[in-house]
Amino acid sequence: MNEDESTAQFEQAILPHLDAAYNLARWLTGNDQDAQDVVQDASLRALKFFGGFRGGNSRAWLLTIVRNTFYNWLEKNRPREVSTAGDEELQTMEDPSVDPALLLARSSNIEAVRSAIAELPVEFREIVVLRELEECSYKEISDVAGVPIGTVMSRLARARKQLQEILTSKPETGGRP
């Protein structure tokens, strides 16, 4: 395959998913400039390693690269934010009597929802963004995050629980992304 064919295949497979890549990066980084930097770096990595892409879900492949690029960027630029949920958060079970998705759908305050999502730990925030905003399947999220589907489901449940707590405990919140 010549370089022109390879470039055309890359553009056909990857370019349609740049909005999703930016959306994920924007939510993970918290601002436009950093998100652009992460997506640019991820796009360059995707181009560099496109020869190793064996077909399949190009969106999940690109989002995986964006996610990995973000974590590399995070370690370099904000090392204090690289952490996992505490044990007490891992033990918290979701209360099925209140559906956070309904709380989000009914919320008239978009800024409060954005702020609540921005407050989530990064490993929960990425799962919420991929599932609720990018409408990825559990399998796609599993592939992107490199974790089992059960972990995706568990993180999503905990993230929804935290969103519920944030949205019900703060009548007004400031505007973060």
Architecture label for domain 87-169: Orthogonal Bundle (1.10)
3-state secondary structure 100-167: HHHHHHHCCCHHHHHHHHHHCCHHHHHHHHHHHHCCCCHHHHHHHHCCCHHHHHHHHHHHHHHHHHHH
Which pLDDT belongs to residue 107? 44
Please list the pLDDT of the chain residue by residue as tens digits (177 residues). 677 788 888 999 999 999 999 999 999 999 999 999 999 999 999 999 888 888 889 999 999 999 999 999 988 887 776 554 443 443 444 444 456 655 555 545 677 888 899 999 999 999 999 998 899 999 999 999 999 999 999 999 999 999 999 988 865 544 444
Which pLDDT belongs to residue 147? 94
Domain ranges of the chain: 3-81, 87-169
* CATH topology (fold) of 3-81: Rna Polymerase Sigma Factor; Chain: A (1.10.1740)
Give the global pTM.
0.71
Which pLDDT belongs to residue 56? 86
